Amino acid sequence: MSATSQAYEPLTTETLPARLGSIGAIAQRLGGAPADWSAREVGDGNLNLVFIVEGPRDTIIVKQALPYVRLVGDSWPLPLKRAFFEYHALIRQARRDPGSVPEVYHFDEDQALIAMQFFTPHVILRKYLMEGRRHQTLAQALGLFCARTAFRGSDLHMDTAKRKADVALFAGNVELCDITETLVFTDPYFDAEMNHHTSPQLDGIVASLRADVDLKVEAQHLKAAFANNAETLLHGDLHTGSVMVTDDETKIIDPEFALYGPMGFDTGMLLANFFMAYYAQPGHAEKPGARTDYQEWILDVIAEIWEVFVSEFSRLWRSERNGILYRRELYEDQNQPLAAEQALGHRLDAIWRDMLGFCGVEMHRRTLGLAHIAEYDTIKDDDMRASCEARGLEFGRQIVVNRARMGQMGQVLDLARLIARETLS
């Protein structure tokens, strides 16, 4: 039984102070008595309850899993244990990239509840990008987070015993892996029950994507990589709704989909969400053409995230490669540092190719599947929305199918620009 000595029960704004009042870590942080605390529910994600709880001394976040998918309702049950995986991912991410994620104040496994740091005046990055706001250090922070968590959570850095134990621990996050396997890699490519898209405008392109043999073969290669290649501990759901920013800070939240998977996955998902923000800009422009410069800024951010990723991953490869793989005995210790550089180049090429593929399928599923994105959904004019979405779909298809032949970020960005300018039939 948990510290609250109760069987699992979802919190409400009314019950929260009394139910959490006896937990020392929470009570001390909030200050005063539970009767002095106020709570509001602000969860706008697809799965959980999220409360902002304010006390006389401090304000915290209390996140609690629900036993079902909030977006769909209780017809889709979902285990509470996802809070356990989120907690374990958060404490690992805090070690691997200090300061990037909320500090955990209290975890209650029975209540599927995490009390953690409240970021204010931060806003969700997705909203920030829709408003056309710029940020100086965003790419640096995101590139570092992706590289540090990818490298330090992998067998390039971890010893055998810790690594095996951790892979076994996160292997239990079965249902959330299943959501990604199904919603990202399968559903967009056939007429799945929960799919929806802007219709009739996108009907033609949707039919052609679902008939596209090359695309469907590549999508299943990517699914195989996701399911089989336990290279590192991933965030698992790193989109722009999982990032909070002020004009000079960047924080990463919500790693409940954490799993061991391929190194290019988190960066691919993240860049997909920037590319969709890029294609959505005409739908948010104050007047035609008003967001053209801003679109270029988004492409600059994409390029810088990848540049920072490569540079930090390479730095860690040279300085912290103490794990199971690519042992120094074989390279540096034999006075062959160039051999280690050769191996690094091969690993980065593989991450790059995977990253492009995951980026493309994420762009498809956020347009055709169950869970869409606000950048597109808030464009009221159906024709305008369809025009933005169709470009994202086309770009996604190109990078999935041609990723083995796309060697440079410049080439990818030129393709994005070309498709943005194209007259679509």
Stretch that binds Mg ion, among 195-203, 229-237, 360-368, 412-420 (CB under 5 A): 229-237
Angle at 180 between CA 179 and CA 183, to 5 degrees: 75
Among 371, 388, 390, 409, binds ligand SR1 (CB under 6 A): 371
Whether 63 and 50 have beta carbons less than 8 Å apart is answered as yes
Q: Which stretch binds ligand SR1 (CB under 6 A): 13-21, 43-51, 132-140, 351-359?
A: 43-51
Tokens found for residue 255: 């790693």
Residue 65 interacts with ligand SR1 (CB under 6 A)? no
Number of residues engaging Mg ion in binding (CB under 5 A): 3
CB-based contacts of 25, cutoff 8 Å, min separation 6: 105, 106, 115
Out of Mg ion, ligand SR1, none, what residue 165 binds, judged by CB under 5 to 8 A for its kind, is none
What whole-number distance in Å separates Cα of residue 53 and Cα of residue 31?
A: 11
Contact between 245 and 123 under an 8 Å Cβ cutoff? The reply is yes
- Compare residues 97 and 256 and give the one whose CB is closer to ligand SR1: 256
**Nearest-5° Cα angle at 174, 393 to 377:** 30
- 371 and 414 in contact (C-beta within 8 Å)? no
Interacting partner of 179 out of ligand SR1, Mg ion, none (Cβ under 5 to 8 A depending on kind): ligand SR1
Q: Which residues pair with 69 in a beta bridge?
A: 73
CA atoms of 266 and 150, how far apart (whole Å): 9
Do residues 314 and 341 make contact, with C-beta atoms less than 8 angstroms apart? no
Q: How many residues bind ligand SR1 (CB under 6 A)?
A: 11
Binding residues among 69-98 for Mg ion as defined by CB under 5 A: none
Establish if 179 lies at the interface with ligand SR1 (CB under 6 A). yes
Exposure of 98 by Cβ count < 10 A (0-12 exposed, 13-18 middle, 19+ buried)? exposed
Out of 254, 266, 362, 394, the residue judged to bind Mg ion by CB under 5 A: 254
Single out the residue of 183, 238, 252, 416 in contact with ligand SR1 (rule: CB under 6 A).
183
The region of 32-40, 178-186, 318-326, 337-345 touching ligand SR1 under the rule CB under 6 A is 178-186
- Amino acid identity, position 160: T
Choose the stretch contacting ligand SR1; rule: CB under 6 A; options: 41-49, 97-105, 207-215, 283-291: 41-49
Question: With respect to Mg ion, which residue has the nearer C-beta, 36 or 377?
Answer: 377
Task: Provide the token pair at 304.
Answer: 């810088």
Cα 392 to Cα 416: distance, rounded to the nearest angstrom: 9
d(CA 279, CA 220): 25
CB of 183 to ligand SR1, least distance (A): 5
| Contact in structure between 393 and 363 (CB atoms under 8 Å) | yes
Residue type, 31: G
Which span (39-47, 57-65, 199-207, 210-218) binds Mg ion, by CB under 5 A? 39-47
Residue among 8, 10, 25, 46 that touches ligand SR1 (CB under 6 A): 46
* DSSP summary character for residue 332: G
User: Which of 47, 420 has the CB closer to Mg ion?
Assistant: 47
Binds 266, which of ligand SR1, Mg ion, none (CB < 5 to 8 A, cut-off by type)? none
Residue window 229-268: x/- pattern of binding to ligand SR1, with contact defined by CB under 6 A:
--------x-------------------------------
Stretch of 30-38, 40-48, 203-211, 340-348 lying at the interface with ligand SR1 (CB under 6 A):
40-48
Residue closest to Mg ion (Cβ): 254
Query: Please, what's the largest Cα pairwise distance for the chain?
Result: 67
Q: Assess 45 for contact with Mg ion (CB under 5 A).
A: yes
Is residue 107 helix, strand or coil? strand
Tell me whether residue 146 or residue 183 sits nearer to ligand SR1 (CB atom). 183
**Where along the sequence are the contacts to ligand SR1 (CB under 6 A)?**
45-47, 69, 71, 179-180, 183, 237, 370-371
**Where along the sequence are the contacts to Mg ion (CB under 5 A)?**
45, 237, 254
